[in-house]
Each structure stands twice: as structure tokens, then as C-alpha cells.
Chain A
Amino acid sequence: MEEQLLDKSVIETGEMVLNMGPQHPSTHGVLRLKIHTDGEVVSKIEPIIGYLHRCFEKHCEKLSYEQIVPFTDRCDYLASMHMDHAYSLAVEKLLDIELPERVEYIRVIISELQRIASHLVAVGTFGLDVGAITPFTWTIRDRERVLDLFEALCGARLLYNYIWPGGVSHDLPPKFLERTIEFLEYFDPQIDELNNLLTTNKIFIERTADVGVLPPEVGINYGVTGPSLRGSGVNFDLRKNEPYSVYPNFDFDVPLGEGIMGTLGDSWDRYYVRVLEMRESAKIIRQAIEQLPDGDVHAALPKKVRPNAGEVYGRYESARGDVGFYIISNGKNIPLRVKMRSPAFCNLSVLSEISEGWMISDIIAILGSLDIVLGEIDR
């Protein structure tokens, strides 16, 4: 009898595979995590993706350059403007056209507003993941104001089709700048509130500090970009390192993780980098509004987008990291191939590495701190 109890086949101590998702509130979309656990300790994670796959890249082979824009919107639906912008930058590089200054400034204002909106969701849902519900409702409320601005701007609240190759679809509506300033005035104290409520909250710190440490080398090796990488103290921001548009005209800092609450590169650092980035974005918007020149936003809009044969790779710093569009043209009005580099995909791939040895409940925190959007990963 005693022998039997000690028999390994009776009391199994091996690993257990646990499926989290695809429908799980904390997976930020339809993501399935196959978690190999030993007890409650995670030994390995296999993210299984593809539930939101919509053949974006194949679809692009049938659509003209202008028609692709609404589909890029649908990749990263929390930062649609960034996708429009990234794609338009690549196409403009291929077309080799100069944009009016005003267009560039408008784009910067819109992109930074979008960054604020996107980070607000990231920060709010991260709090939600680790159990703080109030901050989520607050951040969503503030994001709503940004969406209202966008609605006035182009009529849509989520999928804009606003930034086009060669320009933007509309000039700014009347009173847009005033309303933006008004929003920024309102928004600054909200960040302080958020810091009081969530960032420095003891429970929140306990849940996130020291958890899921991403060492800088590992992050670089995995191709992690954006706030997730900067949380590990790596100073890499395309707006500074490979400036596009009119970013060199602005004075702003790139917030980096410092390990204030724990180790450098932990979940809290990644979170805090986003909070700080919102402040920087607000700073950029203020400067851009001051410098905004006059001009015709449709001046450089090509009648027909028909680039010469060739290929181009455009990079862009989106809310999630380094978005890349690789476009091959064969001289027609339909691209031969569009390939998109998805930052969230790379960020997600590091999950298994950094969550080894953590408990299942910590996986949620780590995943939340990576801020993935499945629409972009599966595309």
C-alpha cells in the first residue's frame, strides 16, 4: 500500500498543460496561451495566435494603395492613426513626394493624441488585469475625450482612414486646436490622479514590481520594441533614433525604465514608461500647435497613387513599438506585396522567456505589461 502511494504513476508530479483563452478577459483579444505548469509555477508558455487573422497582407495584393488605408486601420485598432501614418510614410517614401509642412504637423498632433489614447487603454487594462478596476474606468473616460476630438476631425471614432498617402483627408475642423489645448489642460492633472491611485498603490506595486523582468539584451535579441523595450532602459525610440516627419523640431524626452520600485525592466517599469510617455506626448502636441503653419493639406495629395517599380521599408514608432511596412511596387496602382512588421508580435514572443518561474496569476500581469493588440499580431 505504502509503495503504491509513492509510485509516481499514482501521484503525478509532472507538468500540466493549461489553456488560457482564446476567450479570456485578460488576454486582450483572442489569444490562447498554452501554459505548461508545474503546480502553479509556469515552466513554459506557447502563445497560439491566428484567431483574428484576416489575410491583411494577401488582401493588399488586390487593393489599390488608397484602398489599403482602411485595412491598416483595422490592424492595430487601438492606434489606428499610427497604422495609417506608418503606411502612408512608407508609400510616400516609395512615391518620393514632399509633404506640406502643415500636413506633417497635423499628423504629429494626431499621432501623439492617438498615443495618449492608446496608452490610456494600455495602462487602464493593465490595472484591470491586476485587480484595480477604478483606474480603468477613469482612463477610458479620458480616452473618450480624445475620440471625440477625432470624431470632430474625421467623423469616425475608432477606424479613421484619416492619414492618406500624400496628406490627410481633411484639414482640422474649426476650434479643433482650442479643444485640444483644453483637453491637455484637463489631462495633465488626470495623470497625477492616476499616479496617486494606481502607480504608487502598494498592492499594485506588489503585483508588478520585480515581476517578469525583461533584461535589455533579451529584449533586443527578441526584437522587442516600443515602451516594452524602453522599460528595460534601452534608449531606442524611432522618433529620436531615425526621425521621420517633423519630430526633430520638437523638444521631448524618451522616458526609460529605471527600476524605481524593483528591478530594471520589470512589469512596473514598462507600465510607468507609458505613463511618462503620455506626458511627453502632451508636450509634443503643445509645441506642434504653437508651430503649426498654414497651408493646403491637399496640396501633395497625388491624383492617383502609382509609384514606380521598386521596394521600400518604412519604420514608425507606434504606441506598441516599431511598425514596419515593406512594400514592393511593380509600377501598377496595386502593390505587388505588402508586408507588415508587427511590434506586438515580437513583444508577445518574449512572453515565454520572461515568465518562466512565475505563477499563473503573474502571467496576467506580465502579459498586460506587454500591451499587445491581437488585431495587429494576427492581421
Chain B
Amino acid sequence: MSEYFNNIFYGVKSFLTGMKLTLSHFKNKKELVATLQYPHEKWPVPERNIGFDHAEYNLIRSRLHVDIDDCIACMQCEKACPVDCIKIDSIKPPKDSDFDCGMTSNDTQKKMIVSRFTIDMSECMYCNLCVFPCPEECIYMVGGPNASKHEIDYEFSQYERDGMIFEFADATDEQIKEAGGEKWIEQRDAKINKHEEGIKLEGEVKIAVPPPVTTPVKADESKPVSKTAVKDSGTGELEIKSFNSISDKMCRGIAKKTFTAAKRAGKDQTAMLSDIAQALSDMGKMTDEIQTILDGLPAPVAEHVTEPEIEQKEPESIPVAAESPTIFEMDLKDLNGIEDKMARGIAKKAFIAAKRAGEDKVEAVKNALEDAGKLDTASEALLSSFTAAYSDSENLDPKVESAGDEKPESGEQSQDLPLFDIKDLNSIDEKMARGMAKKIYTAGKRAEKSRSEVIRDIKAGLSDAGKLDSAIEELLNRLETGS
């Protein structure tokens, strides 16, 4: 029982002792307060005589500084650093040259010039090890009473990491060249270039399928050098002269003709080349030799890009090539030249509807755009470029044309084939794309469309939604040919 009270008494007593202590500190808080009003007050930097004598080295480890005029590039500091954050390059003038590297303040004749002296202070661990071995005492930590000589970095901070890398060498390029360091400059520049290229790198670039068909002017504008792999290949201009290397006279003629037609139609180079390839193979003139020539032309015909392209083009490009190079049919893909996303969508929709109904497609597209208030000068110009061409082939039945009855094999095949099974679409990996494709399929089936029509619709629908990739396109092409 008495222990119980003892405990209570002791508890209260120790509590009071503590309180008393704390209170006593309130009285003389002025001198005992440890908090520093930091940005306004700064902790004094300890004093230490500074001179460049080993015993009295400046001690404040604030930031490394190099008196580069005194440095003889002996590399002692570089060797001493445990984390390798000092990088020194030096150039030794050849023996017979009379290049003077200068003297240090200790009257030592310098034998080399320092072309690079970088210290990466973000790697530095402020161990001071580099300071001691320097024979010229020219690398040291700034701060303390040395402030008059070199400003002290009290709060040593930077906004960017690059700010922490200090370059101390001040030799100009001319000096370096004079000392015989051209090679070093070359190497340095190569390194810098490589570095800059690396910065510009955009990582893996997905090749869009189908490639955007824009008017040549626009294409050039949107192709800054070294932007993407695909665009890169388009920078070289495809010229009519490029085809001169085709030896067979007739082939050359066909190629040139098709090229001119395609150019007039404002197709891009990939499309042009595939047109030419198509035209040639239609004439049975396609040889390996020509294929390689075409492949080697400025727009390399990347397999997975052009293959579906060729297939898709079949119905359209054949009449073009066979009848007359000047007449050409407006294609759904041509509408990709419309920049505004929404306008493009509207235009495509109208196009498909008009096509199905056998109406004037250009007119329909124009009207639709006008209704939506999206008809601007660019798209109008684009459309009007078709009007003239279209009026020639106005009387052609678009259905017949699109089915491509002039193409004896694949065209007929696709028309005769019954509609494929919906299950075939299951191999589309992407969930959303699959759903969309199936929806279009069902709609097409209800409308009793033909196989090629349904596939075309699916393609259009998917590419509108930006879901059409090469795998899907390949699948659809396979379905179209029934294999």
C-alpha cells in the first residue's frame, strides 16, 4: 500500500522536476535557443587562416574550385578522387613547336595545356581527397576566410543537374589547335554531336498504317529532318528521272506514266511507288530487277506498310492505270488530307454513304462538310481537285469500279466469295477494335453486302477510330481473298 503511494508521489515529483526544468529554460531562452532564423541569419563559418600552406588549408567544404592558370595537368587530383567526378584532358604540344603553355604562380613551367577540366559536383562527396595531392595547390574548396578571393557558396544549390557540372578549363579552340590538339577537338565535337542526337531521339516510333496521304506541300512541311523513321525516308524527293535506271523501255514508260498521274493527283511517295508497282505487275512486266529499283527509291517500300496498301488499291488503281492516267477516282484515303479530325470523320462518313448510294461522292462530302460548318479553304481545294477528274468518270458505276471487274483474278474472287464468318474476326487482338469490327460486320450482313464491301467498311470504320493496325489489315486482306 505504501509502495502504491510512493509510486504516485514519485511520479508527480519527476513530472514536476521536468516541468521546472523546462520553465527555467524559458527564462534564459535568448541564449539557449538553438534555432537559427536561417535565411536571415547564417551560421558563422568557422575561422581558419587561409594560405596555400598544407597546414593551413582552407577547410570549409563548400565547393571545389580550380585556379586553372596554375594547373599543370598532372592528373593527381583525378587519380585521387574515389568517385571519378573530375575529368581532365590535356594536350601536349609537339616537341618541335614553340607553343608556350605559360607559368604557374609557383613559377613552374607548364608543359601541357588543359583542354578540359570538369568537376561534376553532383557526384562529388566532398571528401577533400583531391585537394591534398595537388602539387600546385590550385584545386581547393572555396569558402571561409578565403571568401575575398573566391565567393563562398553557402547554399550550394542549382535548379538543374547540369548546373552542378563545372568546367574550369579556359583554353580556346585556337589555342588548342595551336598546341596540336585538332584531333582532340574532333573527338570532342563528335561526342557533342552524338550527345545532341541522343537528346533528340524520340524512342521507338510506331509506323502508322495506312500512312497519311497528304498533298506534297503539306507533307514537306510536316517533315522536319530526322523526326521519324517513316518520315525520314520521305525526305528524298522522288523524281521522274529516278526511273531511268529501269532498262526495259516499255516498263520505264509505264512507270513514268503512272508516276506523272500519281503526282498530279497529289499522292505521297509511298502511294506513288505502290501505284507504279501495281501498274507494272498488272502488265506482267514486274521483274525482280525493277522491284529492287523501286525498293531503293527514296521512299523505301517497307513490307508491312505497302503490302496491304497494294491490296487495298487494287480496285481503284487498275482502272486508272489501264484506262487513262489522267482520270482518277477519289479514294477514301484521299480524305486523310483533311486536317481537322472531326471534319475528316464527317467527310469520310459522307463519302461512304455516297458511295453506297452511287451518288457523286465529292459533292456529297462537300455538302456534308458545309452542313457541319467545317468546310475550310484547304479542304475545299482538296475536294475541288477531284471534281474535274471525277466528272470524266462520272458515268462509271462506282460499284462496278470498286469491285474491280477489270482485274480478272482477285477482283472476281472476292465478289464471288460468300460472306465470311463472324468468328474469323476473333483473331483481332485488341478488344475495342474487335468489337467495332464485329458491329460493322453485323450491320453489313443485315444489309446483305458482299464480302469485299463489308471488309472495306470495317477498314474504314477502324481507320476512322484510329484502330487499324497492320495486323488487322493483314487479317482483313486475307479474309478478302478467302485464304
Chain A residues lying within 8 Å of B129, measured Cβ to Cβ, are: 66-67, 70, 161
* A154 interface residue (CB < 8 Å to B): yes
Give the distance in Å from the alpha carbon of A171 to the alpha carbon of B57 in the complex: 10
Task: Say yes or no: B10 contacts A202, CB within 8 Å.
Answer: yes
Q: How large is the interface on B (under 10, 10 to 19, 20 to 34, 35 or more residues)?
A: 20 to 34
1/0 per residue, CB under 8 A from A, across B38-76: the answer is 000000001111000011011111000000000000000
Give the distance in Å from the alpha carbon of A151 to the alpha carbon of B48 in the complex: 11
Task: Say yes or no: A173 contacts B48, CB within 8 Å.
Answer: yes
Task: Say yes or no: B59 contacts A134, CB within 8 Å.
Answer: no
* A63 interface residue (CB < 8 Å to B): yes
1/0 per residue, CB under 8 A from B, across A171-214: the answer is 10110000000000000000001001100111100000000000
Known contacts being A71-B82, A196-B21, A202-B10, is A170 close to B125, with CB within 8 Å?
Answer: no
**Listed stretches B11-19, B99-107, B246-254, B267-275; interface member:** B11-19
Give the distance in Å from the alpha carbon of A151 to the alpha carbon of B11 in the complex: 41
Nearest-neighbor residue (CB-CB) of A73 within chain B: B127
- Which of the listed residues A137, A152, A155 has the most CB atoms from chain B within 10 Å of its own CB? A155
Contact of B18 among A137, A148, A197 (CB under 8 A): A197
* A144 interface residue (CB < 8 Å to B): yes
Chain B residues lying within 8 Å of A137, measured Cβ to Cβ, are: 34
Give the distance in Å from the alpha carbon of A153 to the alpha carbon of B47 in the complex: 10
Chain A residues lying within 8 Å of B48, measured Cβ to Cβ, are: 152, 173-174
Contact of A155 among B21, B54, B59 (CB under 8 A): B59
* B154 interface residue (CB < 8 Å to A): no
Nearest-neighbor residue (CB-CB) of B126 within chain A: A156
Task: Say yes or no: B132 contacts A196, CB within 8 Å.
Answer: no
Contact of B82 among A67, A153, A173, A193 (CB under 8 A): A67
1/0 per residue, CB under 8 A from B, across A140-158: the answer is 1100100010011111100
Task: Say yes or no: A161 contacts B128, CB within 8 Å.
Answer: yes
* A298 interface residue (CB < 8 Å to B): yes
Identify which of residues 48-81 in chain A touch chain B, using a CB-to-CB cut-off of 8 Å.
Answer: 63, 66-71
Contact of B59 among A71, A173, A196, A203 (CB under 8 A): A173
A151 to B: closest C-beta gap in Å: 5
Task: Say yes or no: B22 contacts A171, CB within 8 Å.
Answer: no
* B169 interface residue (CB < 8 Å to A): no
* B80 interface residue (CB < 8 Å to A): yes
Q: List 18 A-B contacts (CB under 8 A).
A: A66-B80, A67-B80, A69-B127, A134-B22, A148-B46, A151-B60, A155-B141, A156-B61, A159-B125, A159-B127, A161-B129, A169-B128, A197-B17, A197-B18, A200-B17, A201-B17, A202-B7, A202-B10
Nearest first, the 9 closest Cβ-Cβ pairs linking A and B are A155-B59, A152-B46, A70-B127, A67-B82, A202-B11, A141-B34, A155-B61, A202-B14, A201-B14
A155-B61, A156-B61, A197-B22 known; 15 new pairs, CB 8 Å cut-off, are A63-B82, A70-B127, A137-B34, A141-B32, A141-B34, A144-B34, A155-B58, A155-B128, A161-B128, A174-B48, A197-B21, A201-B15, A201-B18, A202-B13, A298-B54
Residues on B lying within 8 angstroms of A by beta carbon are: 7, 10-11, 13-15, 17-18, 21-22, 32, 34, 46-49, 54-55, 57-61, 80, 82, 125-129, 132, 141
